[in-house]
Chain A
Amino acid sequence: MAIVNSPLSLADKKEKIMPLVSKNVDIDGIGRYCLGRFWKVATPEQQKHYLVLFHQILANAIADKLGDYRGVSFTIGNVTKSGDDDSVEATLVRPQQPPAAMQWLVNSSSGSPKVVDVIGEGASLRLTQRNDYSSFIARNGGDVDTLLRALQKQIDHHNAASAQQ
């Protein structure tokens, strides 16, 4: 939180945030979930390549948002059981914007608690993402490589855009 709100530059913020994210977020798990039924279809190389790309996509998404955020705070509400996971209610308070309510699903099966999903106003991040990916693959002849290429293109695009700034 202190890092997000600090007046550091975007690159510095990103450098400090990413280790925390990988420690507390089950990125591999989310990535596997997002690939859905195509995870089984993908070859081990494709799976590996996909997870590398997925990490980068997530890092980019975080970096995009980090720049916008200053003076944000969280209030943590009730914790309820939701299946195997704990659902944590949280409200994100941003200056000059209406507060956003969300839930984090936290799974502790790996020993340490890790975030596995974020639900914002009823829509699950990982489920929405999974539907995006699987629909994309299905419409491109069920070929996982097309997804990998598209993700790579997104990353290149993002890097090119941030290099220009």
Chain B
Amino acid sequence: MPPGTLSNATGAFKAGKTVFDGCRACREALPLQMAFLMLERSGSLYMGGLGRMQHKVGARMTSGRNGAWLRPCAQARQNHETRQGTRRGWRPTAGRLGLAMLLASTTACSAIKAPVPKDPDELAEYKAANDPYEPLNRKTYNMTMTFDKYALRPVAKAYVWAVPRPVRNSLGNMITTMNEPSVFFNDVGAGKPRRAGDSFVRWCINMTAGLGGFIDVAKMAGYPHHANDAGLTLANWGIASGPYLFLPMGPSSLRDGIGYGIDQGLSPWNYVPRGYGLISFNWAYNMLGVIHGRSEHLDDLDALQRDALDPYATIRSAYQQQRKAQAEAIRNDHRATVPAWYQ
């Protein structure tokens, strides 16, 4: 069967499609955003705390490590009250101003939109790539890959090194099962009762017999997992993908990005009353989702970055083809609603 050997060679090229699968991207995104939020929050706390401390110190101290910085404050003690007043308001504003300037400069320095080519062949390629915001997307891509190189990938490698394969499989099953409600609602939304039934049964079986999702009993019983997300549901409603976007959590599009937001709303974990360790669970679940998801694609992504001349373009192409194929697979799923054993 010689042609098969060619497919062996496709591993590297196929990597792109598996690298970021839809629901994984969703899971990946959440903790990232949360991490950014936390950073922001702790940053402002830190700034606030520092500010307060320096007010106190400024009133007493005129020299030392902070002396130079605080001296004007101490020297003009008459104006101390007003100075303190202004400074309190000034610090966060400066931060915001800096951020605004940073944003403005990144926007001004390079166009967000790529110029539309004139040459007909080039234009055809430009249209096929569906990536009018390429300059911005490439920036995000570079940022994400830098983060991946120095943070996510090493952590994922450590995870693979430290946790044995069977345990990782169980954790993977748990993550998949916990996402099953979101898949279910999307199956319903796409009007595919058989698929919805599958994901519903998977949830029921795995959460009970599967000990909270750690064992994929449903798969053994003939209900294997299928992926679905709101981006695909929207695609089945005939909504075009819109321009390709590379978001911090991976390749996406306007439609899939919106779908991601909808998926967050469909996850039942957001509706459980606060407390009862839910926040810790959410954190652990999402962090684990990211690390586990990344660890599954260590070799794929390494191979892709080694073999592709332009990894960004390769990922873009593979992602868009794969999303199209996924949406088509759902559209063409006309299986009977009654299971095989009943007929």
Contacts and interface: CB of A to CB of B under 8 A. Distances in A.
Interface of A: 1, 4, 17, 20-21, 23-25, 36-37, 40, 58, 61-62, 64-66, 69, 74, 90, 92, 102, 104, 106, 115, 118, 120-125, 127-129, 131-136, 138-139, 147, 150-151, 154
B91 interface: no
Contacts of B326: 122
A125 B10 contact: yes
A140 to B, nearest CB: 9
A123 B322 contact: yes
B11 A115 contact: no
B313 to A, nearest CB: 3
Contacts of A24: 2-3
A124 B318 CA distance: 8
A54 to B, nearest CB: 12
B125 A37 contact: yes
Given A121-B325, A131-B129, A62 B5 contact: yes
A138 B125 contact: yes
A135 B313 contact: yes
B8 A69 contact: yes
A134 B4 CA distance: 27
Contacts of B11: 61, 65
B17 interface: yes
Nearest to A76: B1
A124 B321 contact: yes
B110 to A, nearest CB: 14
B317 interface: yes
B125 A120 contact: no
A58 B9 contact: yes
A58 B307 CA distance: 11
* Size class of the contact patch on chain B: 35 or more
Contacts of A128: 13, 16, 314, 317-318, 321
Contact of A118 (B10, B125, B309, B316): B10
Given A127-B321, A134-B125, A136-B310, A121 B8 contact: no
B6 A4 contact: no
Given A120-B10, A123-B322, A128-B16, A106 B313 contact: no
B7 interface: yes
A114 B7 CA distance: 13
Contact of B321 (A61, A62, A90, A123): A123
Looking at chain B's contact residues, the main secondary structure is helix
Contacts of B307: 61, 154
Interface string B321-343: 11111100100000000000000
A123 B325 contact: yes
B12 interface: yes
Given A58-B9, A61-B9, A65-B8, 10 more contacts: A24-B3, A25-B2, A65-B9, A102-B7, A102-B10, A121-B325, A122-B329, A123-B321, A135-B310, A154-B309
Interface pairs A-B: 8 shortest CB-CB = A122-B325, A135-B313, A20-B2, A131-B317, A65-B8, A61-B9, A120-B14, A136-B309
Q: Most chain-A Cβ atoms within 10 A of its Cβ — which of B5, B312, B317?
A: B5
A9 B342 CA distance: 51
B6 A90 contact: no
B8 A66 contact: yes
Given A61-B9, A65-B9, A121 B3 contact: no
A117 to B, nearest CB: 9
A17 B122 CA distance: 38
A61 B7 CA distance: 10
B99 interface: no
A123 B2 contact: no
